[in-house]
Amino acid sequence: MIKIRELNSAKKEIALRSLEEWTVGKTLSWVNCINPTQRELKEISLKTGIALEDLEDSVHPNKRPHVIPYRNYSLIIFKTPYREGGAIKTASLGIFLFKKDVITICSRPIPALQHFDELPESQQILIFKNGAPYFVYRLLDHSLGDFFEMMDMVSDEIDLIEWQVLHHVQKVIPKEIFAQKRVLIYLHKALIANRDVISALEKHYLVEFTEDSFGVLRNLYNDTAQLIDLVTTYRDTLSNVLDMYLSSINNNLNNIMKTLTIISAFVLVPMFIASIYGMNFGGESAWNMPELYWKYGYEFALGLMALSVVVIYGFFKRKKWI
């Protein structure tokens, strides 16, 4: 799908144009291509002179962010986040920057382009009036804003996992922790590559960005550095949460073993007494279990068992084991 917005000659209105009506360099325009077909890519190539291979390459979802200056235009590939089925992912956004035109290509709809597309017309006119480089800056700024939103979502997920570890330990918690760590790894790689792109723009690799643009590019660089720090912090937090979870599991296991040991101690001595009197050594010898002939021998054995339990309980209580 291709959608073209063009600032009119009076610079007071933004009009929609078809690809057939659009002309490169006439006035500032934005050509937004979402999951374009092969036919659409060929039409753009014929209109702009961009090599078809470069257009196809910019749509590739795994393309690493980079900056390439060409004779009549420049190419910027930037990673931008999106959410799909509850999972946070990143997509490659291709930006072809001409003197007066900006072409954006992505393999799927992404929030950065949607937000930019939904801006009030008055704001879009102001952005268009400031030129194509400023337009690209605002687009990259929206993309980094989406990163911040995704990081807020990750933060909420981490808070939920921490609460579960502290209040309700579940077997699925390690799976959730590793899933969030995997998301953070992908975001970290994307942000590191994006930082290299912004650094290249600051170093005047593209002639479209003048020295006046360095101030706003520095803002992008600082935002990216802050996002990288956030990713590192959240990864450390998840590692600590995982350690906390493992400690909770070990503590629970120790409590279970302690309980079972105490129960075994309570049962062991009475069983020992019962096993002695269960041998039934009777006969004429006074040494062969005279309790068998006592009137209250059975009660004596039961009382001895009860006394052993009380003594053991008192001993454990004094040692503060229970």
Q: What is the 3-state secondary structure (H, E, C) of 226-286?
A: HHHHHHHHHHHHHHHHHHHHHHHHHHHHHHHHHHHHHHHHHHHHHHHHHHHHCCCCCCCCC
181/116 same-domain check: yes
Q: Calculate the average pLDDT of the chain.
A: 84
Confidence band, pLDDT 50/70/90 cuts, at residue 188: very high
184/309 same-domain check: no
Q: 198, 217, 249: which is the final residue of a domain?
A: 249
pLDDT of 214: 64
127/267 same-domain check: no
Mean pLDDT over 91-116 rounds to 87
224/254 same-domain check: no
Q: What is the edge-to-edge ordering of all strands in the sheet holding 87-97?
A: 14-17, 2-7, 29-34, 101-106, 87-97, 74-84, 66-69
Mean pLDDT over 16-40 rounds to 82
pLDDT of 228: 94
pTM confidence score:
0.75
Residue by residue, DSSP assigns 141-152 as HHHHHHHHHHHH
Express each pLDDT in 53-86 by its tens digit: 888 888 787 788 888 888 888 889 999 998 888 7
130/39 same-domain check: yes
Is the pLDDT at 9 greater than 80? The verdict is no
Express each pLDDT in 132-149 by its tens digit: 888 888 889 889 999 999
272/236 same-domain check: no
CATH number (domain holding residue 265): 1.20.58
Other C-beta atoms within 10 Å of 195: how many?
Answer: 18
Mean pLDDT over 278-288 rounds to 71
Query: Which domain covers residue 119, as residue numbers?
Result: 2-249
264/235 same-domain check: no
pLDDT of 283: 65
pLDDT of 211: 65
pLDDT of 119: 81
Q: Are 187 and 147 in contact, with CB atoms under 8 Å apart?
A: yes
Q: 249, 272, 297: which is the final residue of a domain?
A: 249
